[in-house]
Structure 1
Amino acid sequence: MAEDDRKSTPDELDRRLKGVRQAYQAGTGRSSGPATRGAGGEKLGVGMRIAVELVAGVVAGAFLGLMADQWLGTKPWLLIVGFVLGCCAAFLNVYRVAQAEERRSKAAQDEKKS
C-alpha cells in the first residue's frame, strides 16, 4: 500500500466524521452538544440535592440548638429541640424538591406527547 493511499483530504475526513457522529446519535438516541445531559445525570443531580437538603437541615438545626444551649445554659434541651426542628425542615425541603421534580417530569412528558 502506497503512502498516498492512506492520506485523506480534510473534506473526506469531515464526511467520515459526520457519518460516525450520525451513527452514534442514531444508536444512542442522544442529541449532540456539550450541554446535553442524559437522564442518569439529571437523576443523580436530584439525588445529590436531596442528600444535601437532608444533611444541611439536620446540621443547621443541631448547630443552632447547640449555640442556643451554650448561650442560655440549658444543655441539652435546645440541642434536642434544634435537632428535631432541623429534621422536620430537612424532610419538608426534600418533599418540596420531590414535588418540583414530579411537576417537571410531568411537564416534560406532556411536551413529548404534543
Structure 2
Amino acid sequence: MDERNGFEERLRQARAREGLDKRPDGRGALPQGPWGIGLRAGVEVFSALVVGIGLGFALDRWLGTWPWLFLVFFVLGSAAGVMNVYRLFNPRRHPRGK
C-alpha cells in the first residue's frame, strides 16, 4: 500500500505543477457561462483602451502634440485589448526550469 500512496502523491504534485488541477480558490480560471466570458472579454478590451487613451491624452496635453500621441496610444491600447482577449482564450504555459 505504501507504493500506491507514494505514486498518488507524485501524481498530485505533477498535476499541480503542470496546472492540470483546478485551483481551490477559483482564481485564474475562465468565468463560467457565456455571460461571464463575454463580460470579462469586454472589460479587458475596455480597460486597455481607457489606459491607452488616458496616457495619450495626458502626454499630448503635457507635450503639446495633439492629436498624435493620442492616436498612437489609442492604437496601442486597442492592440493591448485584443492581445488580452487572445491570452484569455489561449493561455500559454510557461516552461519551468528549461
Provide TM-score, normalisation by structure 1: 0.50
Report the alpha carbon displacement of residue 67 of structure 1 after superposing the two structures with TM: 0.2
Q: Which amino acid aligns with 1:84?
A: V
Alignment partner, residue 7 of structure 2: none
CA offset digits 1:7-53 (Å, max 9, x no partner): xxxxxxxxxxxxxxxxxxxxxxxxxxxxxxxxxx5321111000001
Residue in structure 2 matched with residue 55 of structure 1 by the alignment: 46
**Whole-Å Cα distance in 2 between the matches of residues 97 and 66 of structure 1?**
28
Q: Which amino acid aligns with 2:88?
A: V
Bigger Cα Rg: 1
Q: Distance in 1 between matches of 2:89 and 2:60?
A: 33
Q: Are 1:42 and 2:33 an aligned pair?
A: yes
Matched, 1:73 2:64: yes
Matches within 5 A, 1:1-114: 41-100=32-91
Residue 92 of structure 1, CA deviation? 0.3
Task: Answer 1 or 2: which has greater helix percent.
Answer: 1
CA distance in 2, matches of 1:42, 1:62: 31
User: After the TM superposition, which parts of structure 1 deviate over 3 Å for at least 4 consecutive aligned residues?
Assistant: none
Q: Which residue in the other structure is 1:8 paired with?
A: none
Structure 2, unpaired ranges of 5+: 1-31, 92-98
The one-letter code of the counterpart of 1:77 is W
More relative contact order, 1 or 2 (CA 8 Å, 6+ apart) = 2
Counterpart AA for 1:56:
S
In 2: Cα distance, 1:98 partner to 1:57 partner: 17
